[in-house]
Amino acid sequence: MRFPLALSVKIARHIVKHKLRKTPKFALVLQLEPLHTCNLTCTGCGRIREYSTSLKDMVPLDQCLAAAAECDAPMVSICGGEPLIYPKIEELVAGLLVQGRIVYICTNGLFMRKKLREYFAAVYDPSNPSHQSRLQRLLDEQLLTGKEADAIRRADAAAKNRVVIRPTPWLYWNVHIDGLEYTHDLIVEREGVFRECVAAVRMAKILGFQVATNTTVYRETDVQEIEDMFRFFSALGVDGHTISPGYDYDAAKKDMVRRLGKDPKEFFLTREMTRQKFAKILDWGREFTIFGTPVYQEFLAGRRELTCTAWAIPTYNIRGWKAPCYLMTDAHYPTYAEMLQKVDWAKYGVVNGVARDPRCENCMVHCGYDPSGALGTNYQSGDHWKNFKYNFSPRPKPHPWSPELERRAFNGASVGKGHLAQARAAVAATSAPAGAPGSNGKDGSHVGTFCGAGGETAPVTQRSPTAGASPGD
Ligand code: SF4
Ligand code: SF4
């Protein structure tokens, strides 16, 4: 099965319950943003720009849990900002699991290994051979340093009693990956992030977690690269992939113009371009474990129309329930019920090729249209069977690992082709004599000075790309 049985049953029961009750609108996935603080400044991210004046604010834990209970979505995607910066992230995950929800932690991956170490320290039992062998494997694969392994072995009572994020079939790490090394580091505006994400994914799999990747496709995205990305992460054993087209929402567009001096049209996709980029998504769905319904995949490939059901993936954050959708903001409401009631939903989306709101014109994103496929809006004969068959058919086999695949994946900073290489070389040339350490940028020196994100940056080293990267924590 592409998605575990218990989770599929949970979602199906939720939909059937509301269909029987004839509930006009209900939530399937809650996008919960406990904070908007982030340790990256990705190109195209509207969140950290739209909420730039409230980056220090956080939704209290009890309010997050109350929001999940109020909308009662079976799935909660904890996003942000970077959710692992939220001080009560462990309690939030635990509370949502107690409520019986399927939880996705949408992370940029930089703090993930820290959380995984805390988990392992809390549960590590030296008399358990499986724990010993996992610790040794993490060391052998350079996903832990000797010091970190010692800290796990010698965890004190405080570390043992800490609330930690534990593996369960109800939880997925959902790691933001927008391409292979060069592209991903370029989009997140920091070198070393891809390598750290790969290390985090591998460590999570060794410790028994479910992991998915979460990819946004932009105008410049090379489809061949996306396929290689699926192959690479499939070979690492990830459990699924979510993929969605990039959307030119206002905050991201403004940032592109002001900060980067770029025309947003060079970056984001129109509807027609989305259909071209996603022309092969049905093939990808057969070869890889792509999450989402085949009906939504047909929509992305341009084989059918869907109407927007943004109310089914509501967003809750420091200002309340964000309407009409994850991407556009016309208002915030104190409750989900009030948002459902007060928003004129007929004003949004694209119907029969005509945008009801000009801002919706190029939008085909999952948070507007993926639920439409599951809910049977625009139903065509056989859709339910198609969705059922897709989910219940065997999960595609992991792609075989090969040195060539790994070589294609680490095509950026790991092989000296980072997007900052030119800038680094130029500065080195003016500050160091030719041949001096650092003059070629391959000495392990930090590149934080040049990083768009500012702050501490993973060192660029020449060690094996699959070896544990320098943690972002
Ligand atoms: S990781 Fe990137 S896309 Fe995600 S919130 Fe941070 S800046 Fe935005
Ligand atoms: S089509 Fe729906 S999800 Fe997309 S921008 Fe419009 S309201 Fe939001």
318 alpha carbon – ligand 2 mean position (Å): 21
pLDDT at 440 over 70: no
46 alpha carbon – ligand 1 mean position (Å): 8
Question: Which residue lies with its CA nearest to atom 1 of ligand 2?
Answer: 349
Contact between 247 and 363 (Cβ < 8 Å)? yes
Sheet holding 75-78, edge to edge: 240-245, 210-217, 171-176, 102-107, 75-78, 29-32, 315-317, 320-324, 329-333
Min mean pLDDT across 253-262, 330-339, 413-422, 435-444 is at 435-444
- What is the average pLDDT across 126-149? 98
Gap between the Cα atoms of 182 and 193, Å rounded: 10
Sort 357 into a burial class: Cβ within 10 Å, 0-12 / 13-18 / 19+. middle
Please give the model's pTM, rounded to 2 decimal places. 0.88
- Which ligand 2 atom sits closest to the C-alpha of 308? 2
Query: What's residue 346's pLDDT?
Result: 95
313 alpha carbon – ligand 1 mean position (Å): 19
Q: Nearest Cα to 256, choosing from 81, 449, 46?
A: 46
**pLDDT band with cut points at 50, 70 and 90 for residue 465:** very low
Residue-wise pLDDT for 92-116, tens only, equals 999 999 999 999 999 999 999 999 9
* Residue 289, both tokens: 């474990």
With residue 329 as reference, give the H or E element that holds it.
strand 329-333
In the block, tokens 């089914």 appear at 312
Residue 35 φ then ψ, to 5°: -160, 165
166 alpha carbon – ligand 1 mean position (Å): 24
Residue-wise pLDDT for 156-212, tens only, equals 999 999 999 999 999 999 999 999 999 999 999 999 999 999 999 999 999 999 999
- What is the average pLDDT across 331-339? 98
* Residue 198, both tokens: 């790969």
Pocket of ligand 1 (CB under 6 A): 38, 40-42, 45, 47-48, 80-82, 108, 176, 188
- The dihedral sign for the CA sequence 104, 46, 377, 370: negative
In the block, tokens 């509930």 appear at 23
Q: Which ligand is nearest to the CA of 350?
A: 2
Between 405 and 376, name the one with better pLDDT. 405
What contacts 85, CB < 8 A, 6 or more positions away? 35, 37, 38, 39, 111
Strands (E), 43-150: 75-78, 102-107
Q: Is 327 in the pocket of ligand 2 (CB under 6 A)?
A: yes
> Average pLDDT, whole number, for the chain?
87
Could you give the domains of the chain?
5-455 (3.20.20.70)
Residue-wise pLDDT for 43-82, tens only, equals 778 788 889 889 889 999 999 999 999 999 999 999 999 9
Q: Is 310 in the pocket of ligand 2 (CB under 6 A)?
A: yes
What is the three-class DSSP state of 260? Answer: coil
Query: What's residue 122's pLDDT?
Result: 98
Task: Please give the C-alpha separations between residue 138 and each of 111, 128, 135, in angstroms, as whole numbers.
Answer: 17, 16, 5
Gap between the Cα atoms of 404 and 229, Å rounded: 13
Task: Say whether the peptide bond before residue 471 is cis (omega within 30 degrees of 0).
Answer: no
